[in-house]
Amino acid sequence: MLKELHIRDFAIIDELHLTFPPGFIVLTGETGAGKSIIIDAVELVLGGRADTTVVRAGAKRALVEATFQLDPARRATLQPLLEREGLEGDEPDLLVLSREVRVEGRSICRINGRAVTLALLREVAQGLVDIHGQSE
C-alpha cells in the first residue's frame, strides 16, 4: 500500500508531501488541479518512462520518492529478491522507491536508498499499485 509520496521539482510542483491513509485511495478535483501530475509522478517512480520535460522550469532535477507499507504476503514475495540484491531496509515492512531525473537526461533509481537499475526498480515495483483512469 502506498503510504507516503514526496515530489520535488516535478512538472509544476515545487514540493509536495502526501501521506495516504490505509485503504482505497481516490484522487479527485477540478480540471487543472494537478491530479494527472501526481499520477505521472507515481508512474515515474514505479519505473515509467522518464523525460527531461518533467523537471520543473529552473530546476536541475526532479525527484519522486514513494514509501510503501508491505503486507505480509507482499513482503514474503519481495524478500528473497531484496536480500539477493542487498536492498533490505531498516524497517522490513517498508519499501522506499525513488527516482531522480536530471535536466541532462540522466535518471537515477533507488530502492531503500541504494542505486539500482531501472529494470530492477520495475521488477520490485511490479504489482505495488493499480492505477485506473476514468474510463476503466
- 10: cell is 516535478
Q: Cell numbers 528473497 label which residue?
A: 80
What is the torsion angle, in degrees rounded to the nearest 10, for the CA atoms of residue 46, residue 79, residue 116 and residue 59? 40
Nearest residue to 78 via CA among 127, 130, 43, 23: 127
Closest by Cα among 118, 124, 125 to 101: 118
Q: What is the mean pLDDT of the chain?
A: 91
Statement: 2-125 belongs to CATH 3.40.50.300? yes
pTM above 0.85, yes or no: yes
Name the residue with cell 515492512. Answer: 93
Write out pLDDT tens, residues 80-106.
999 999 999 889 899 999 999 999 999
pLDDT tens, residue by residue, 49-68: 999 999 999 999 999 999 99
- The residue ranges of every structural domain in the chain are 2-125
18-38 per-position pLDDT tens digit:
999 988 878 888 887 788 899
d(CA 5, CA 97): 10
